[in-house]
Amino acid sequence: MKITDIKIRRIFDEGILKAVVSITIDKVFAIHEIKIIDNGEHRFVAMPSRVYDDGSHHDIVHPIGTNARRAIEKIILDAFDSYLATINRDISA
């Protein structure tokens, strides 16, 4: 499995939600609505989920296993950092 594309869909300046991202896997499978969360202590990736009427959450898509989660999270966060660096460089130019 290889992530072949990452799109930063939306960035948020305030709150713990920092961005919404889409990824493409092996150029054939897309996952949308992946969230980048920064709670002040650390950043992490939250996979798409559904919220039920009782307030509970259920993941719609998620990696199986810690190694897969860490690999996907690293790729997404690195892409987000690169994107922010590009924006900051463009603004200061």
Q: What are phi and psi of 67, to 5 degrees?
A: -65, -45
Residue 88 has a pLDDT of 75
Kindly report, residue by residue over 35-60, the tens digit of the pLDDT: 999 999 999 999 999 999 999 989 89
- pTM equals 0.86
Q: CATH: 3.40.367.20, 3.40.50.300, 3.60.110.10, 3.30.1120.40. Which one for 3-92?
A: 3.30.1120.40
More confident residue, 76 or 89: 76
Assess contact for 30 and 22: CB atoms under 8 A: yes
Contacting residues for 18 by C-beta, under 8 A, at least 6 apart: 11, 12, 36, 37, 38, 43, 80
Kindly report, residue by residue over 7-22, the tens digit of the pLDDT: 999 999 899 999 999 9
